[in-house]
Each structure stands twice: as structure tokens, then as C-alpha cells.
Amino acid sequence: MTLMLSRTPALGELLATCCHTGRMRSEQVVSVQGDAELIARAGHLIESARTEFVCAARDMRTWSQPEAMCAIRNRVRAAASTGFTCRKLLSPAALADEQARAHLREVQRSGTLVRISGSPLPHETIVIDQRVMILAGRQTPGGREYTVTTSQVLVDGVHSLFRAVWDSAVELDAYLRDDVPHLDADSRLILQALGSGATDESAARRLGVSLRTYRRRVAELMAKLEADSRFQAGMRAAELGLPA
């Protein structure tokens, strides 16, 4: 049963009671609209997780408001605390650019366990201490609709599904190692030219191709390395251990 906010106690009060007692006062499913309302009513629950914080998401863009991002970031930082477990399960789309990869490496260094799954994932699902669950809906002009529940049946069911997908997912470092693109001889020569600082004209002559062809191949190499600039292409290649 979905209870509209106008007909129920404040969401924060309702869920805080459940969390503080360790029991459900009742099995509630409540909807809120947008990040701001979610954080206003349930943000403290995200930050007060004591034993486990798990998150499954397609990409890194679900939480758009600074307050929401801050609440999630604080929980991720707490992963280094003794007895606290933080897991992030993401789809390959979350690794779309180097900034996202760098962020996830930093998250991992802080103690959070990060895995990548090829299975279809929701927009975002968070389970806090196996007692509270937050589900994110699709983005709409009015913001995302979030469903928050303390129903132990629902929480346990989703948590079990999360663990099943988690167990078959690949650790971030292993996924990135396996995701290394193959570079042919010409691509390695181009990579070497980029690293040497040679002009396009000089590099094109060295490869025996026209300037136009050389620049096209540079663009193809950048796309293969998922780099936005030539400098980033070199950094990405070094990071992946690709030979020049």
C-alpha cells in the first residue's frame, strides 16, 4: 500500500522510529518527489547508516542535487569505519569517462567495495542497514520520484537480489584490466608520436600517411581510449599499461 505524504506522519519521523528501535512500526511505502524532498525527509537516515550501505545504479548521474550527493558521499567515506560495509554495484555505463573512473578509484581507496555488472540495473537502489530501502524512478521534468520503504519483506527481497547480482559481478580493478583496448602497430606509433610532442605534420611523414589520414587516426585512437583530448589519451594509455 502506498501512503501519500499528506496522509501520513513525516517520512523522517516514521523511518527514524523504525531505525532507532530496530523494528518496523508498520510496513510503509512512501513516495517523495525530487532530491530536495528526499534529503529533507530522509537524508539523515542515509547519513546514520551504522552497519551496511549498499547501492546499485546504472550510472553516476542519479543524485543531481548537491545535498543528495553530499549525503551519499558521507556514507561512502564512512566505509573505512570498523564494522561498516559499503558496496556500490554499477553498470559499465558508470565507466563512461575518465572522470568517473577516477572517482570510483577514489571511492574504492576509501574502503568501499565496487563491482561492475553486465546485468540490467535500476536507476538507483539504496538499502540501509537492511532496514530501509530507497528506489529512484526515472528522471522527469519535475524531478525523480523516490520510493522509500521499511517493509522488511520488500527490503529483504531486494537485498537478496542485490547480493545475487553482486556475487556474479566483477571487481572494478579486474573489470578495468579486462577492458583494455587492443592497439595495432600504427596506433602504437601514433601514441608514441603524441607522447613525444611531435607536430602532426612530422608524425604523418613518419607514418607515411597524409596529414588528414593521420588526424583521422588520432581521432579514432582517442575514441578507442575514451579520451576527450590527446593528453588524456596518453594518460589513459599509460594507466592501462598499453605499450607505445
pTM score: 0.61
**Taking the chain, what is the end-to-end CA distance rounded to the nearest angstrom?**
60
Give the strand pairing for 145-149 and 113-116: unpaired
Per-residue pLDDT of the chain (244 residues; tens, 9 = 90+): 333 333 333 333 443 444 444 443 445 888 888 888 888 887 777 777 889 999 998 877 665 555 555 656 665 555 556 688 999 999 887 876 677 888 888 889 988 999 999 887 877 899 999 999 999 888 777 778 889 998 999 999 999 999 999 999 999 988 887 766 767 788 888 988 888 888 999 999 999 999 999 999 999 888 888 788 888 888 877 766 565 5
Axis crossing angle, helix 11-21 with helix 34-47, rounded to the nearest 10:
20
Angle at 15 between CA 14 and CA 17, to 5 degrees: 70
Q: Which domains does the chain have, with CATH numbers?
A: 2-177 (3.30.870.10), 180-240 (1.10.10.10)
The set of cell numbers assigned to 208 is 607515411
Question: CA–CA separation, 51 vs 39, rounded Å?
Answer: 20
Q: At what angle do helices 230-240 and 211-224 cross, to 10 degrees?
A: 50
